[in-house]
Amino acid sequence: MGAEAEHTPEAVGPRRTQKEATRARVLAAARELFDAEGYDGATIREIARRAGVAVGSVFTTFASKGEILSEVMQARLDPLYGEINRVMPHVRGSTVDRLRTLFAIHFEFENRHLRLFLAHIAAAYDWTLSPAARPYGRNPRLKAILRDTVEKGVATGDVRPDIDLDEVVGLLLAAYAWTYQLAITQGAGAAELIAAMDRQIGVLAEGFSARA
């Protein structure tokens, strides 16, 4: 999904243009490498080699490996969240149905580049991560969409008004991330991941639903 298109150089000096081109090349190479090698396996040196740029020029653009991955994921997730924000207001059904739809869209999307997404989660445990990096869990968009969905549930009488919504969102985020362990340990595909998440949403719903 065109990360490059966003970086179309406009009326800028040649130096700036070159910097943007390097940036786009690095991001494209990094995306491929993370998807092939995972987070630990990908090195800045290899990213530079694949992008055909000097290691030094990678570091003049990005502070760390984690930051590169954050940029890759952001470019990748922008269209996903654009689509979700467009679709979700029209998704009918109970809060549980809406949550299931929401996560199904995510699994379908991430499963196409599974290793890239696992790298995104693994980055959350990186040592050297700079504050600017946004690994899984530090991305506010999914959290906001979930919060919005359960808030609507309170408004429609689906969700207990006395429950701590942040707690529910936290549990959903935990279930979502850890469901990917099934892909790691059992090689589960999108359909299995979705089914596993559906069951977990069912369990959580017994905790957050009005009139249990």
Instruction: Name which of residues 164 to 193 contact other proteins (CB under 8 A).
Output: 164, 167-168, 170-171, 173-175, 177-178, 181, 184-185
For residue 44, state whether it binds other proteins (rule: CB under 8 A): no
Closest approach, Cβ 15 to other proteins, in A, equals 35
Count residues binding other proteins (CB under 8 A). 37
For residue 127, state whether it binds other proteins (rule: CB under 8 A): yes
Choose the stretch contacting other proteins; rule: CB under 8 A; options: 17-25, 80-88, 99-107, 199-207.
Answer: 199-207
For residue 163, state whether it binds other proteins (rule: CB under 8 A): yes
Which tokens sit at 144? 């906001």
For residue 59, state whether it binds other proteins (rule: CB under 8 A): no
Task: Tell me, residue by residue from 107 to 126, as one string, x for binding to other proteins by CB under 8 A and - for no binding.
Answer: --------x--xx-xx-xxx
Helix H, strand E, coil C: the string for the chain is CCHHHHCCCCCCCHHHHHHHHHHHHHHHHHHHHHHHHHHHHCCHHHHHHHHCCCHHHHHHHCCCHHHHHHHHHHHHHHHHHHHHHHHHHHCCCCHHHHHHHHHHHHHHHHHCCHHHHHHHHHHHHCCCCCCCCCCCCCCHHHHHHHHHHHHHHHHHCCECCCCCHHHHHHHHHHHHHHHCHHHHHHCCCHHHHHHHHHHHHHHHHHHHECCC
Closest approach, Cβ 203 to other proteins, in A, equals 6
Task: Note the residues at the interface with other proteins (CB under 8 A).
Answer: 38-41, 115, 118-119, 121-122, 124-127, 137, 163-164, 167-168, 170-171, 173-175, 177-178, 181, 184-185, 199-200, 203-208, 212
